[in-house]
Structure 1
Amino acid sequence: MWKSIWGPSVEDKQKKQQESAKSAIINLRGQIQLLTKKQQHLETQSEELREKAKNYMAKKNVNMAKIQLKKSKILEGQLTKILQQVENLEMQLFTIENANLNLETVKAISKANGAMKDINTSMSIDKVEDTMDEVRENMDMNEEISEALTRPIGTGSTYIDEEELEDELENLMLEEETEKIGKSVMAENKNSFLPNVPQSALPKQEFHIPLEEEEEEDEDEIALRKLQAEMDL
């Protein structure tokens, strides 16, 4: 009833246009195939007539050769017209196919636009902000839950203060450093009472040392060894 009053709707018009385009495309393709077959047939006939003309010329029959050539020319004229018709039909087919493609593209864009409208009607900036606030609250709650799960379980003797452990470790390191420094000072004081002993062999002297000086040096060396033995060196 409403269609009879207001006329066909946009969808009905588009559907009718699409059906009309498909029907035209089918008819054009069918006509092009028919003309193409006719074209091939005419080409074959024209070639046969030309071959006959050659044979008549070989037999010196000029009149029959001319007749065959005239028939061939007539067929060539028909062939030219058919080729032009095929070209026109192919141009129309291309135009209609392109128009039909544009129609399908417009329909796709129209559907996409309708989908966007439906999506936008189900959303609003207030709804989006409320949703994002809920997401942030849930993330904060999840973070608090994660922190609660990582806290130590139990109190009293089972609880260990991490800061207290670090302080105790620092005290142990200071004690160790102090002990090392004390040992180093004691070693330096102990070595300060001893004479410097040469680490390498004494150079050989070319002159002769008297016997008395040699005995004195031997006594000094013996005393030095005794002193080193007493000091546990």
Structure 2
Amino acid sequence: MNWFGKKKKGAASTTASGSSGGASDPQVTIVKLRENIAMQEKREEHIQRKMNGMVKEAKEKMARKDKKGAMFALKRKKLYEQELDKIQNVKMTLETQVMNLESASQNAQTFKAMDAGKNAMKKIRTDVGIDKVDDMMDDIREEMEMASEISSAIAQPVDPLLADEDELLAELEELEAEDVEDALLTPPAKTPSINLPAVPSNKLPALANDEAEELKKLEAELAGL
């Protein structure tokens, strides 16, 4: 029987959703676990002080020869030791949960990042498919060919007489043929006479006697060689 009246469904659902929402968030859960670890550490310090007090009390009662009181103090110390062991085990469990939850949270974030990267790559591949790339490369090659043709067309010389070049060459050949014919029909011109100097009739002057003798000696030496 409910003495406090029927609980409203809205409040119950709100409480349940709030608790489940907090539990589903790993960061909130990690904070709560760390708060519980801190609380266990405070209780551990309190129990340790109680144990130290029991040891001190047992020593004092032994000094007063109160053996029964000392034994009771040591029994209480044993109870505190058992409680301290429980607290340490709870702390170990909580710290293990924190480590596992942090690792799982990090793995989940890594998975989300990798999944986002995969989706981004998939979208890029969808937007830029192999067919689109092939079409784009074909368009680029076509545009380059058209640009080359335009450049070649622009580089063509603009000469109004270019179409009559064959006719001009034929006329030039006719002129050359006429020049050759005129050269063959024209008689050769007379060679002008060249006035040469007259041959001297006088004899060359005789060499001096000394020079004649030296010349003879030189001829004799050359003949003896």
TM-score (norm 2): 0.48
Q: Which structure's CA Rg is the greater one?
A: 2
Instruction: Give the TM-score normalised by the residue count of structure 1.
Output: 0.47
